[in-house]
Structure formats: C-alpha cells, structure tokens
Amino acid sequence: MLGDSLSAGYGIKPAQGWVALLEQRLQTQGYGYKVLNASVSGETSGGGLERLPRALELHHPAVVIVELGANDGLRGLSVALTRDNLTKIVATTRQSGAKVLLIGMRMPPNYGPRYTNDFMNMYREIATANKVELVPFLLQSVALKPELIQADGLHPTAPAQPALLDTVWPHLKPMLKAR
C-alpha cells in the first residue's frame, strides 16, 4: 500500500484503518497475503515515487495499491506533474512484476471547475493508458456524509473505514489469487 494519510489512518488508531481491515479480510477469506502499509501522512505523488524503488526492492510485492495525489491537488500542484509522477509509479511498479491498483481522488469544488475536472479525469486517463485497474474515488461513499468525516473536513473517521474498504474491494479482489 503506497498512499497518504487516507491510507495511513490519520486521526484514528492504525488497527481501525481501511488498510488494516483489508489485511483482516484477506486473512479471513483465505488469501494469505501480507499487507505492508507504506502510507505516509502528507505524502505527495513525488514523495511516493521517490520511496517506491526501495520499497519494491525490499518487499517484492505481488500487488501495489497506489493511493496518492490528494496532497498534490490540495497544494495546487499542476495536474501534469501529478500525472507524470503517478504514471512513473505505475510503470516502475509494473516493471517489478507487481500488479497495480490505482485509487483516484477528487478535489473540492473551490479549486475551480477546470482544475477539479482535470484532476478527476487524470486517474482514468492513467489507468486507461497503462491498462491498470482503477478505483475512481476512494471517498465516494463517505465524502458527503459529515458524520463520517473528522473535524478537519478531510479525513474519514474510524466508522467510515469499512466503507472505504468496501469501495476498494471489488476492484482488488479480481487481482488476487487464493493461497
């Protein structure tokens, strides 16, 4: 798992986060995969790209879930730069022999229609061009439910985490092999 605070479990206990819940689901359903959560709060696509080669070398993953870009967008970084970094992450991961699941994000409307549309479409364009599976929007089932978002207005609460996993699972499950 290569992500940012949304996957690192910002503001909640690590065992409550959707990535920890994913590992539990994998074990209870007999997949036998070990999940390494290499997510870092505040991480950008550039930071993830920088850390990726070492993580691939150390862990030799079968599947890499990439949930990055939200901090790029919140900082107003160019969509072209974020697209380039994510494309390099996908390519580097695939070159290692791992499958890639790309998780998309969206920006709040106050960033303007052009930026928010370009940002949202970027993930689909990367997934299509690189033939990788895409979760269109990680927060799709919780973003408009204030009771599932922390006081900062950005991060999902502990009760929201199962919904995040349920958003990812249908895209991830076909990529897995039972062990």
41 carries an active-site annotation:
no
152 carries an active-site annotation:
yes
Which residue of the set 7, 45, 118, 155 is catalytic? 155
> Rounded distance, CA 102 to CA 29, Å?
23
DSSP code, position 131: T
Which residue of the set 41, 84, 152, 171 is catalytic? 152
> Rounded distance, CA 73 to CA 75, Å?
5
> Rounded distance, CA 40 to CA 8, Å?
6
CB 4 within 8 A of CB 40: yes
Compute CA distances 10 → 7, 34, 44, 61, 150, whole Å: 8, 21, 15, 24, 10
Which residue of the set 5, 7, 39, 45 is catalytic? 5
155 carries an active-site annotation:
yes
Name the residues annotated as catalytic: 5, 152, 155
